[in-house]
Amino acid sequence: MPQLEELEKNLGVKFENLDHIKQALVHRSYLNEHPDFPLGHNERLEFLGDAVLELVVTEYLYNHYENPEGELTNWRASLVNAELLSEICQSLNVEDHLFLSKGEAKDKDSKARKYILANAMESIIGAIYLDLGWEAAKEFILRTVVSRLPGILEQRLYIDPKSRFQEAAQEKIGVTPSYKVISEEGPDHAKDFEVGIYLNKELVATGKGTSKHEAQVAAAEEAIRVKGW
């Protein structure tokens, strides 16, 4: 399977049973169009990988930092969230190897794709654990995920964007940001919100989301980028 050999190279892992890594790449939607596909979807591997990832990260933080539980919990959350896992998954060029339905394959820029990639990352960890054991899974996680920790701590990414922007605004100009809904569209069960973030009367940035909170977080992230804070 030359395609899987290329993926193994990207991951830095040599599998004993290629069916393990192949199954980690199978999204449920693919099986709807290919019912005769010999392997199942990756959700059970994702369940396994999620637990292995959390334990490796927890063990590393416990062994290397004396910080209180609350801080370590925030640091761990910043390492195992969908945003970071999907980004790591993309950096390993996993996306080109996924088994997706035609509809999912086309929908590259959606929020759903981010979660598909994050779930695939957890599935891959599950596949490594199943195929090669704890030490191999741990080495992979330390190399690909935990290696991001210094940057997260340096940029304080473990603090949510709204809190980060508020702290910076109060420190730099003595102003507390405010948020205002600019628009909302769609039916009640599927609304899209656009929210503006303001410093006094200055509109610094806007953000969109399927809830007001999500749109506020997106606006705060953009405001941090705009202000260079």
pLDDT in tens, 204-220: 999 999 899 999 999 99
Residue 16 near residue 136 (C-beta atoms within 8 A): no
| 124 vs 8: CA distance, rounded Å | 11
Question: Exposure pattern of 127-161 as b/e (b: 16+ CB <10 Å)?
Answer: bbbbbbeeeebbebbeebbbeebeebeeeebbeeb
pLDDT at residue 51 in the model: 98
Angle between helices 134-144 and 111-132 (to 10 degrees): 140
Distance set, CA 104 to CA 55, 107, 123 (Å)? 31, 5, 18
How many CB atoms neighbour CB 27 within 10 A? 20
Length of the chain: 229
Residue 132 has pLDDT above 90, yes or no: yes
Using CB atoms within 10 Å of the CB of residue 70, give its burial: 0 to 12 exposed, 13 to 18 middle, 19+ buried: exposed
pLDDT at residue 2 in the model: 56
How many CB atoms neighbour CB 197 within 10 A? 29
Per residue in 48-100, pLDDT tens? 999 999 999 999 999 999 999 999 999 999 999 998 999 999 999 999 999 99
Mean pLDDT of the chain: 93
Residue of 46, 104, 122, 222 marked active site: 122
DSSP assignment letter at 194? E
Question: Exposure pattern of 75-89 as b/e (b: 16+ CB <10 Å)?
Answer: bbebbbebebbbebb
Per-domain boundaries in the chain: 2-154, 161-227
Query: Is 2-154 a CATH 1.10.1520.10 domain?
Result: yes
Residue of 46, 50, 131, 222 marked active site: 50
Q: What one-letter code names the amino acid at 155?
A: Q
Asked if 50 is an active-site residue, the reply is yes
pLDDT at residue 109 in the model: 67
Tokens of 30: 């693919």
Asked if 122 is an active-site residue, the reply is yes
Instruction: Kindly report whether the global pTM for this prediction surpasses the value 0.85.
Output: no
Write down the H helix ranges in the chain: 2-11, 18-24, 28-33, 43-64, 69-80, 82-91, 102-106, 111-132, 134-144, 149-154, 161-173, 212-227
Residue 159: which pLDDT band, with cuts at 50, 70 and 90?
confident
Query: Is 161-227 a CATH 3.40.50.2000 domain?
Result: no
